[in-house]
Amino acid sequence: MATAGLVNPFMPNQLDGKPFDSGIFQEWCDRMGEMGGLAKDGRTFCQETAKLAAEKLCLDAGVKLLYHVQLDRPLMDGRRIDCVTMLGKSGLTGHRARAYVDATGDADLAARAGCTFELGRAEDGLTQPMTTCFDLAGVDIERMPDRETINRLYDRAREEGRLKCPRHNVLLFRSVEDDRIHFNTTRIIGHDATDTLSLSEAEIEGRRQVLDYVEFLRRDVAGFESARLHAVAVTIGVRESRRVRGHAYLTRADFENATKFPDGICRVNYEIDIHSPTGGGSEHAQLPPGEWYEIPYGCLVPLDCDNLLVAGRPISVDHAVHSSMRVMPPACTVGQACGTAAAMALRQKCTPAEVEGREVRRSLIEQGVWLVETHEGIEAS
Ligand SMILES: Cc1cc2nc3c(=O)[nH]c(=O)nc-3n(C[C@H](O)[C@H](O)[C@H](O)COP(=O)(O)OP(=O)(O)OC[C@H]3O[C@@H](n4cnc5c(N)ncnc54)[C@H](O)[C@@H]3O)c2cc1C
């Protein structure tokens, strides 16, 4: 999402200025900084640099990358994935591993391996809306009105039928360049990211809304008269789809109680942030100041498959917790925990479910992830 989805900036997941995601996520940011692609705030970045920095990190670590491939399906041996087939320029190819990490965002591998999952919110299965992000360049930022004025103009354009978008206001951010504004503001509701036709229709609707926005901004908003469409995300942004049921499951109550776990592998204090699945508004809920909750290792380990781990946003949490942990910094730390656990499973000749979650936590601490301070009754290292 940070590259092809044009999603920017990294949402804050930190305490008193100290980031929780101080492992590989931080290494990635540092690389971007060295390449001149990270703003002073440490959160706004250039997506082109993000690509180059991510690839360099992988290559330097000896990762063999395969581009232009899509998962076809796993071939199962009981509760184990024996091998996966991928579709790419060479046609179908098979890839065998002892442990697999599903980092597809939508849990495509887990779903095709027969894992139980939830989709959307409990009451009706609806997910958070999708958004096609875009950037405008050539903006005279000095002349831009404040957000309230932009929102008033936006309401008027919607009332006059010139802009069709269910979102209640305009969500925009400064970018790494002085004359560029980033928009995370189109809103596509009622679509399912795991359905090819529905996803295609959402892409088309997202681009239609981008055109409406560009016309509105150029016509109505000071500073945008000569703005150019700098980039439209290559892929629509999907906030939410499947969440795979695992050996642990976090709920809104865990968020509210700031629950910690002996096998917590990631700390999060980013808010509950649910863009309405049906319309305009958003729901927000914050933790008390100075607090965070932890994601236990069991949320990454599917109940129904023995040699699979789930990384990023589709882990075993409810709709509310998902809306908090899905932002990019903790999503990266969850991925780091999966890679760590997969390596431990190989070394210990066991399944990811048999790996001791406290050991994963300990290894992450050694790798620099901020999980060290103790809590009542909880072992840190
Ligand atoms: C519109 C939008 C705005 C957001 N705003 C912010 C924000 O401002 N700040 C923030 O921190 N977070 C934001 N988020 C949340 C964040 O971007 C995502 O939740 C996060 O990127 C999820 O990480 P992930 O690794 O799980 O999935 P993704 O980042 O989606 O990565 C999944 C990867 O898997 C690949 N893939 C998918 N399916 C297959 C397949 N079948 N075969 C092969 N490869 C596949 C994809 O190409 C992609 O490279 C936003 C999300 C959206 C959609």
**pLDDT one-digit tens code per residue, 290-345:** 999 999 999 999 999 999 999 999 999 999 999 999 999 999 999 999 999 999 99
Name the closest-CA residue to atom 23, ligand 1: 312
Does residue 25 contact residue 267 with C-beta atoms inside 8 Å?
no
The ligand 1 atom nearest the CA atom of 326: 19
How many CB atoms within 10 Å of residue 91?
A: 8
**From CA 291, how far away is CA 299, in angstroms rounded?**
20
Q: 238 C-alpha to center of ligand 1: Å?
A: 7
Q: 326 C-alpha to center of ligand 1: Å?
A: 9
Domain count, the chain: 2
Whether the CB of 86 sits within 6 Å of ligand 1 = no
Whether the CB of 187 sits within 6 Å of ligand 1 = no
Does residue 271 contact residue 286 with C-beta atoms inside 8 Å?
yes
Whether the CB of 167 sits within 6 Å of ligand 1 = no
Q: Residue type at 362?
A: R
Does one domain contain both 273 and 329?
yes
Whether the CB of 199 sits within 6 Å of ligand 1 = no
Q: Is 79 within the bounds of a domain?
A: yes
Does one domain contain both 271 and 165?
no
Q: Is 42 within the bounds of a domain?
A: no
Does one domain contain both 119 and 249?
yes
Does one domain contain both 191 and 262?
no
Q: Which of 3, 6, 7 to mutate to test the pocket of ligand 1 (most atoms within 8 A of CB)?
A: 7
CA torsion, ordered 245, 249, 251, 255, to nearest 10 deg? -130
Q: Is 43 within the bounds of a domain?
A: no
| Strands 14-15 vs 308-310: parallel, antiparallel or unpaired | unpaired
Q: Is 278 within the bounds of a domain?
A: yes
Segments of the chain with pLDDT less than 70 = 373-381
**From CA 147, how far away is CA 5, in angstroms rounded?**
24
Does one domain contain both 272 and 316?
yes
Does residue 101 contact residue 328 with C-beta atoms inside 8 Å?
no
Token match 């601490």: residue?
A: 365
DSSP-based three-state secondary structure for 164: coil
Closest alpha carbon to 10 in 43, 37, 35 = 43
> What does pTM read for this prediction?
0.96
Name the closest-CA residue to atom 45, ligand 1: 104
pLDDT at 4: 97
Q: Which of 235, 328, 333 to mutate to test the pocket of ligand 1 (most atoms within 8 A of CB)?
A: 328
- Out of 202, 232, 262, a domain closes at 232
Does one domain contain both 283 and 351?
yes
Q: 105 C-alpha to center of ligand 1: Å?
A: 6
Query: HSE-up of 113 (CA within 13 Å, CB side)?
Result: 31
The ligand 1 atom nearest the CA atom of 71: 42
- Out of 211, 232, 253, a domain closes at 232
Does one domain contain both 117 and 140?
no
Q: Is 2 within the bounds of a domain?
A: no
Does one domain contain both 219 and 262?
no
pLDDT at 280: 84
Quote the domain boundaries for residue 82.
72-123+244-366
Does one domain contain both 138 and 208?
yes
Name the closest-CA residue to atom 3, ligand 1: 7
Closest alpha carbon to 50 in 6, 106, 105, 101 = 6
Whether the CB of 287 sits within 6 Å of ligand 1 = no
Does one domain contain both 197 and 262?
no
Whether the CB of 237 sits within 6 Å of ligand 1 = yes
- Out of 232, 252, 276, a domain closes at 232
Q: Is 374 within the bounds of a domain?
A: no
Q: Is 119 within the bounds of a domain?
A: yes
Does one domain contain both 351 and 214?
no
Q: Is 219 within the bounds of a domain?
A: yes
Whether the CB of 104 sits within 6 Å of ligand 1 = yes
Does one domain contain both 117 and 248?
yes
